[in-house]
Structure 1
Amino acid sequence: MSEDLTGRRLGHYKIDGVLGRGGMSVMYKATDVRLGRKVALKVMGEHITGDAEFRERFVDEARNTSAIDHANIVPLYDFGEVDGMLYIAMRLVDGSDLASLIKDGPISPHRALELLGQVAEALDMLHERGLVHLDLKPANVLVTSRESAHEHVYLADFGLTRRGATGHRTSSGDFLGSPTYAAPEHLRGEPVDGRTDLYALACMLFACLTGRPPFQGQVQEVIQGHLGAEPPTATSFIVLPHGIDEVLRRGMAKRADQRYDTCRELIAAARAALGPAGVDPPPPAQPARPERAPGPMSGPQPVQPYPPGPPPYSPQQYPQGPRPPVGGEPVRLRPPMPAGSSSFATRGGGTARWLVPILVVVALAVIIGVFVAMAGSIGSGGPSRTTAPETPAYNQNDLPTSVPTVGN
């Protein structure tokens, strides 16, 4: 489809922008105006909607997908036709796709196994129901880390068909899908089953480990590679245990009966072949803090908290004494105070040393003065009385009879 529908309405969907384009369809980001939620809207190309066989497969795909309930399969909300355009509305996943993750090079073996292991779970569930995806490629594996602590995978954009049916082709014989990850029987239009998806899964594992699909070049070169050429070895592109080459060779065997029976079996074999390379490396070890030799503390020391859990002592062990030290650190204890000493005495003791003797001397002087006063009063028989001094009596005969005059 060459026309961009951004800004237009398709039924009750307002198209907000393009998410991606493929050979058969365009994926849009749209808003369901009835419910007010964002959706991914897959609109089929006008050049194939006129094919009666394709329209029948489209309706069958939509009905089969809407009946699937699996944690790793993107939920389908709606499908229909508006103005001659077929569409499927599905959940909008907030993340990226596997094609974006490997476009600049390989991802770690552990991450590849974790992501494709979820794809294998979804595929085996489809196969148990008699369905085949038939359009498995990295662009249809959606990866998000916003829904859980780990990366979560959604398998999307199905080309679903029933097991035993032939590969997707139009009435004119054109192949529907991407040949980059297509199995030989799919390319030849032969009956398909779950092992057809397993071939594509092995091709994706090769791409995740090496950063490139097993066969590259023009479309015809890629098709001829899948039909008759041996796949290259992964260890010729990247350093990996050589056992993974045998796993990939069996997964991409030209005959379906030479492949693994289930997708889980393929991933389990790859995990065993990769060994430690397929295990998530442990986090770097934290450098150990050097232990301090026991000895007297110098300078301010940080307070060491007690470890969580019950205290390392009981009241019965230390009924009156101080709390025991932690970690064997030396602790200086105050010597016991002599009996009768004041609890409020300062360490300097300068004032207390001379104040107490002075107070004792003053108290003794007061006591002695009181005793002396009491002793004096007891000796006189009573309180002392003050009398006027006696003066001698004058005799009138002794008085002069005449007054002397001056000159006599």
Structure 2
Amino acid sequence: MTGAIRCRGFQSRLCFASVSGDISHYRILGQLGRGAMGEVYRAVDQRLGREVALKMLPREVEGDADWQTRLLREAQAASALNHPGIVTLYDIEHDEGRSFLVMELVSGEPMSEVARKGVTWERALELVAGVADALAAAHALGILHRDIKSDNLMVTARGQVKVLDFGLAKLRADVVSRTSQMQAVAPPPEADDSLADTLVPRTQPADSQPGWDRKALRSDLTQAGQMVGTPAYMAPECYEGHTDVRSEVFALGVVLYELVVGKRPFDRENAFATMAAIQLDDPEPPSKAAPERGIPPKVDQLVAKTLAKAPAERFADMTELAARSAA
């Protein structure tokens, strides 16, 4: 395997290797993009004769235990899921000093591009219902994605949605236990009850989210109260380090707004202003933000409920959001 090292962005301290040639029994065809955990490449499995996607850590952090554990956690999350709306993990491997995930190659375009091109509000609801259904399956198994955004959602050539990139996912301890037989690139992190509050906001009783037992939560490799996610899609409570399924309802609400209007609801002149808008401002109803699109009141109501500031005022879970979006 060969590669030229390059750095992305003046703010980044990480350099990524542009990989070419072979790694293990995979022939690298080209780079697909960069995600939260590293770079993704298109490759051919030379044993099975199929195209796959390989996700690799940056060279500089390849030996870092935390990054290795994050990669393992993403593999554990993906391997626990079997849903047509979630990218399939085939394997996790280590070769020539590099750890990488072998995943289903999803051909299509990111939902951010779909939003940029423009879709009808009816199609937007179909897409969001598909994502909500996939995330409901993940939540039912004790997995929070924690980075729902249009760039992490793909629309295939057949029009199906796929949820990608579980690099920031949070797993309940029992999920880790169920997947502990997989080949590990690093030992899994110890369970840490001090991080339980990042799943259920402290303003809510610990048992207010069925299935999310604070004592059964897994360490997410962050400090308690630390923000995790992409700011423009993060619910108000996420800025205090708290997140649960309703925070993901909010994030998907931002995606819905992006699809029906063509822009995100809280984007401002800079990141700090965007964060302030999420905390303080009510979004303009889609029907007023894009009057030329003929958006009906029911979409305004759906958006308003998903983007409510208080978690208790949103849809309780993704199952409810999927049902309302499909109605």
Q: TM-score, normalised by structure 2?
A: 0.71
3-state DSSP of counterpart to 1:8? strand
Matched, 1:242 2:325: no
Aligned to 2:306: 251
Task: Please list, as runs of the form range in 1=range in 2, the aligned pairs for 1:71-86 lying within 5 A after superposition.
Answer: 71-82=84-95, 85-86=98-99
Match of residue 127, structure 2, among 115, 131, 134? 115
Aligned to 2:169: 160
Q: CA deviation at 1:198?
A: 1.0
State the alpha-carbon separation in 2 of the partners of residues 87 and 165 from structure 1: 31
Q: CA deviation at 1:116?
A: 1.5
Task: Please list, as runs of the form range in 1=range in 2, the aligned pairs for 1:320-399 lying within 5 A after superposition.
Answer: none
CA contact (8 A) 1:142 1:153 kept: yes
Q: Any unmatched runs of 5+ in structure 1?
A: 273-408
Aligned to 1:220: 272
3-state DSSP of counterpart to 1:96? strand
52-61 vs 164-173, greater mean Cα deviation: 164-173
Aligned to 1:203: 254
Matched, 1:183 2:238: no
Q: CA deviation at 1:62?
A: 0.8
1:131-184 Cα offsets, whole Å, 9 max, x none, are 1111111122222234xxxx2122111132136463767569985542221223
State the alpha-carbon separation in 1 of the partners of residues 25 and 239 from structure 2: 37
State the alpha-carbon separation in 1 of the partners of residues 156 and 79 from structure 2: 21
* Change beyond 3 A, Cα 1:98–1:266: same
Match of residue 89, structure 1, among 95, 99, 102? 102
RMSD between superposed Cα atoms in Å = 2.8
Q: CA deviation at 1:85?
A: 4.2
3-state DSSP of counterpart to 2:165? coil
Aligned to 1:362: none
* Change beyond 3 A, Cα 1:234–1:161: same
Q: CA deviation at 1:208?
A: 0.5
Considering fraction of residues, name the structure with more strand. 2
* Change beyond 3 A, Cα 1:174–1:8: farther
Matched, 1:263 2:322: no
3-state DSSP of counterpart to 2:20? coil
Aligned to 1:143: 155
Q: CA deviation at 1:226?
A: 2.4
CA contact (8 A) 2:87 2:163 kept: yes
Q: TM-score, normalised by structure 1?
A: 0.58
Q: CA deviation at 1:15?
A: 1.9
* Change beyond 3 A, Cα 1:220–1:128: same
Match of residue 53, structure 2, among 35, 40, 52? 40
* Change beyond 3 A, Cα 1:53–1:211: same
CA contact (8 A) 2:35 2:165 kept: no
CA contact (8 A) 1:6 1:16 kept: no
1:16-55 Cα offsets, whole Å, 9 max, x none, are 1111223542221112233232111122334655654443
3-state DSSP of counterpart to 2:18? coil
Q: CA deviation at 1:230?
A: 2.3
Matched, 1:14 2:27: yes
Considering fraction of residues, name the structure with more helix. 2
Q: CA deviation at 1:109?
A: 1.1
CA contact (8 A) 2:110 2:152 kept: yes
Number of aligned residue pairs: 266
Q: Any unmatched runs of 5+ in structure 2?
A: 1-13, 173-195, 200-219
CA contact (8 A) 1:24 1:176 kept: no
3-state DSSP of counterpart to 1:41? strand
State the alpha-carbon separation in 2 of the partners of residues 184 and 47 from structure 1: 33
Q: CA deviation at 1:108?
A: 0.5
Q: CA deviation at 1:201?
A: 0.9
Q: Which has the greater radius of gyration?
A: 1
State the alpha-carbon separation in 2 of the partners of residues 50 and 224 from structure 1: 37
3-state DSSP of counterpart to 2:198? coil
1:330-384 Cα offsets, whole Å, 9 max, x none, are xxxxxxxxxxxxxxxxxxxxxxxxxxxxxxxxxxxxxxxxxxxxxxxxxxxxxxx
